[in-house]
């Protein structure tokens, strides 16, 4: 968990800097295509953060539910994943 946590925090810090950079670009009336290129990079970086968090959830929370043998806990974790995937596809 610690390794993914630090990776996630590092990526979020970079994202924060990218968003500030885009705000400055807008303030400076930069070319729209340059701004759009940066927003695409932000979207891609955010997907990377989501993948890390989902990977951590699967490796720890979901695995723990499976190992517990508790069908209610297993169903709850499964339902969480389905709900997340449904939100992501909207």
CATH of the domain at 19: 1.20.58.1000
Nearest residue to 46 (alpha-carbon basis) of 26, 22, 28, 62: 22
> Whole-model pTM above 0.75?
yes
* Section 38-47 average pLDDT: 96
* Section 38-50 average pLDDT: 95
Q: b/e for 8-46, b at 16 or more Cβ within 10 A?
A: beebeeebeebeeebeebeeeeeeeeebeebeeebeebe
> Count of domains in the chain?
1
Q: Tell me how far apart the alpha carbons of residues 23 and 46 are, in angstroms, rounded to a whole number.
A: 17
């Amino acid at each position: 968990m610690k390794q993914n946590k630090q990776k996630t925090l590092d990526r979020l810090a970079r994202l924060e800097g990218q968003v500030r950079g885009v705000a400055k670009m807008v303030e400076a009336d930069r070319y729209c295509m340059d701004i759009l290129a940066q927003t695409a990079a932000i979207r891609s970086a955010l997907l990377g953060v989501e993948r890390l968090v989902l990977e951590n959830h699967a490796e720890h929370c979901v695995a723990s539910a499976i190992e517990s043998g508790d069908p209610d806990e297993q169903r709850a974790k499964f339902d969480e994943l389905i709900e997340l995937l449904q939100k992501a596809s909207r």
